[in-house]
Amino acid sequence: MPPDGTFLKTRIAPTPSGYLHAGNAVNFLLTAALAKKHSAKLLLRIDDLDRERYRQAYATDVFQTLRFLNIQCDEGPQSLEEFERHWSQRHRLNLYAAALEKLKETNAVFACTCSRTQSNACTCFQKNLPLDANGASWRLRTNENSVCVRTIDGNETIAHLPAEMKNFIVRKKDGLPAYQLASVVDDLHFGIDFIVRGQDLWPSTLAQQFLARQLGEERFASIRFYHHPLLMHESGEKLSKSAGDTSVKHWRNESQTSAAFFHYLGGLLHAPFPVHNGDDVLKLFGL
């Protein structure tokens, strides 16, 4: 165990499904600054299992954004070629398959053939469909038991799974692991003990704690979490990946400097002082 106030390793884990926006940049800066503050190594993990939305240009944008923000990771790929050759999640399919097999052996999952629109009223729980049924996903059998999440300061929050995470999917209809399962397996595989993510991923944190317990991975419960506020449009809507004026790519294409982008971020964050780096973002969030 690391000394009090320090962590072993955290990660930046973008999904290459679009060009990164200013909100992603804030997450990257916070994660890197907190890693430095707590003496943790920083891993770059690119989540590329969604092959329908994956584009090499989006993965390349991750590396370009990190360089633009002057963030250096201690572990992980340094280029698109290195990522695809050694670090893609496709190289860890055996780990995800082993986790799914464990859930199968303990009868922790059931087959579901519902469409996405039917999922809220899924009736497959009682059907006992075979897990190898054509076009079936695997859903985790959830219950009303609470889960515990440890925060950055060591406090514990007890909560129940939200409604949208009831019987959540762990294997998709195409046979690939779903995000929640792959994320848990990866964090355990890489020895992550501290995770920084947006407040919108609080339901995922609860789901992943529940899933880890079903896998018998009690060490996942010791991971510390920090859920940061989201960067929002003036309309109050959450930013989404796009090539619009909130994307980091837009600023690079306009030949803007990193300093100009930090000034822009400071405005979005309503900063009462100039923002020059991740340490200034930490101050804004009271960390």
Q: Please give the Cα distance from 186 to 196 (Å, whole number).
A: 15
Closest of 43, 45, 51, 44 to residue 17, by C-alpha: 51
Residue ranges of the chain with per-residue pLDDT less than 70: 1-3, 116-122, 234-237, 241-245
> How far is CA 194 from each of CA 2, 48, 152, 270, 287, rounded to the nearest angstrom?
12, 21, 8, 27, 15
> How far is CA 68 from each of CA 44, 80, 113, rounded to the nearest angstrom?
15, 16, 44
Longest CA span, the chain: 59
Question: Do 39 and 2 touch, CB atoms closer than 8 A?
Answer: yes
Question: Do 225 and 197 touch, CB atoms closer than 8 A?
Answer: yes
Kindly state the tokens that stand for 53.
């939305």
pLDDT at 244: 62
Question: Do 274 and 266 touch, CB atoms closer than 8 A?
Answer: yes
Question: Do 273 and 280 touch, CB atoms closer than 8 A?
Answer: yes
pLDDT at 108: 96
pLDDT at 236: 63
What does the pLDDT look like over 67-90, one tens digit per residue? 999 999 999 999 999 999 999 999
How close are the terminal C-alpha atoms of the chain, in Å? 22
pLDDT at 243: 54
Where do the domains of the chain lie, and which CATH numbers do they carry?
Answer: 9-284 (3.40.50.620)
Question: Residue 97: exposed, middle, or buried by beta-carbon count in 10 A (0-12, 13-18, 19+)?
Answer: middle
